Structure 1
């Protein structure tokens, strides 16, 4: 388990992480979300003892990670796929990590097989694509077969097959009872991969809950309705305060009214409906709505 309590990090006048507290339990994939500049990478680095907090604590299984020797036995991480000497081969890079952590040599071959790089074991990392570097970073995280794993933007550069593979890998690791924390800005990946979310903005906690609970917090619910009298229904709904946008010849997308109220108004006005369906906000819509005032950098921002 990862536990973060009152974690704060200040760089001069910049408050990167602000009194942040959350837990990452084992047996689930926890997504770590936030806009650019939200403090996600800084938080991951403090959890791993790479940055010293200004205040607060971050522990892995009850202890600061920096206190552990042979750390890869306890936690594995992918923070920067490019943080590998380009002149080394994949096998040489992993062998050095294995020796430094007292791991058997056979683990190098095992993890290269697992991430699909066995055929490139002797190639220099400088010639790897970004997707291959990501796979090597994942292999490094898996090397010590640790109970806790942290990944920062792990699908960057992966092709569709690689994305599907990494989703399955994270689910399998969590099903084995491991603690899996995945930082990403891709909402579709979190919707397809994560069980629960920790959402931050400007270094502060916004939400810590399941994916379904977070998506349900979005207010942009929509109602889809199909009727041969779409123009007349649109007028009725607009008069009731809704926004009804045409979606094809016989369909409307309605916001501002519940599906039940749309049905009631259609019935009262003797309008035949062929379809009436409510759609909750997507994870991306909920994220954009709930983090709108926590975005550090915006296109066109002239500050």
Structure 2
């Protein structure tokens, strides 16, 4: 199957800062492709270049063989949610979508159809300024679906959604892919990508780390590790490192430990009277592989996270 999105040696510089660096990858139709990377990796900049909002410093990107800017009725070809908050708060949801429909020569009946699809039919006449973040995310998804496009881009679409909303978005993406559409989703939620994505494009510091099926990427992990959740993470990390383990920090109170089994980690914690809230062995996972392979690409790591690496 021919790729729908083709990114070739894409580079974007802002003065002395290189946000995207010689990036090359493709996105295929008929599957959900996750777009992963640490904060500051260049994901949002790349998505903006795909739809022509940012001009590349060098390189090129094409959607179905040509730059997106060459398409006068863009929403019929590509639907995108890049920033749920980038809307006029004084307009109603229906008015916001109505403007998009008219400027893209779309029938106005689509406004009611997509509002119903995303669960906002009852809020159609309400001002967007009073919406919660989750409602704004749903409105952004409605805007992406408005032109019934074959290509869909989403940047962190799960932010602000409750568990029901997250499940709904997951099912929506799977359905859209099953219809043969191209679905490209940027997210920092590894657990959701593990349940949703078929393929992954992973970048760090603007450079490509992986472009492959999700299972192949997850299998890159060093194997069995132990997940430890503790309010004494810094002290425990020091102890297990001293015992020869490799430690990766995953948030404020979670350690991923390789090289010691859970019994030995528990003993070390007991010896130092450190509290444990979770101690569980895990096999190769997307989260573990992501933490390992992007460890050197984290732009803003805490001192403890840096020590753990």
TM-score normalised by length of structure 2: 0.80
**1:175-207 per-position Cα deviation (integer Å, ceiling 9, x unaligned):** 000000000011011001100000000000000
RMSD: 2.0
- Indicate the larger mover: 292-301 or 72-81: 292-301
CA distance in 2, matches of 1:244, 1:216: 20
Please state how far the C-alpha of 1:221 moved relative to its aligned partner.
2.1
Match in the other structure for 1:270: none
* Structure 1 unaligned residues grouped into runs of 5+: 224-237, 250-277
Structure 2 residue corresponding to 1:38, chosen from 33, 36, 41 = 41
Quick check: 1:171 aligned with 2:174? Answer: yes
Quick check: 1:10 aligned with 2:13? Answer: yes
Please state how far the C-alpha of 1:115 moved relative to its aligned partner.
0.1
Match in the other structure for 1:133: 136
Match in the other structure for 1:244: 261
Please state how far the C-alpha of 1:280 moved relative to its aligned partner.
2.8
Match in the other structure for 2:190: 187
Contact 1:26–1:178 (CA<8 Å) still a contact in 2? yes
* Structure 2 unaligned residues grouped into runs of 5+: 227-242, 244-258, 267-280, 305-309
For the residue of structure 2 that corresponds to 1:172, the secondary structure is helix
Contact 1:216–1:280 (CA<8 Å) still a contact in 2? no
Match in the other structure for 2:237: none
**1:201-233 per-position Cα deviation (integer Å, ceiling 9, x unaligned):** 00000001111100100104259xxxxxxxxxx
Alignment of 1:65-144 (within 5 A): 65-144=68-147
CA distance in 1, matches of 2:135, 2:260: 47
CA distance in 2, matches of 1:219, 1:248: 18
For the residue of structure 2 that corresponds to 1:243, the secondary structure is coil
Aligned residues: 257
Match in the other structure for 1:61: 64
**1:122-145 per-position Cα deviation (integer Å, ceiling 9, x unaligned):** 000000000000000000000000
Please state how far the C-alpha of 1:297 moved relative to its aligned partner.
1.1
Please state how far the C-alpha of 1:298 moved relative to its aligned partner.
1.1
CA distance in 2, matches of 1:78, 1:244: 43
Contact 1:4–1:57 (CA<8 Å) still a contact in 2? yes
For the residue of structure 2 that corresponds to 1:181, the secondary structure is strand
Match in the other structure for 2:231: none
CA 1:14–1:27 in structure 2 vs 1: closer, same or farther (change >3 Å)?
same
Q: Choose 1 or 2 for highest CA Rg.
A: 1
**1:87-146 per-position Cα deviation (integer Å, ceiling 9, x unaligned):** 000000000000000000100000000000000000000000000000000000000000
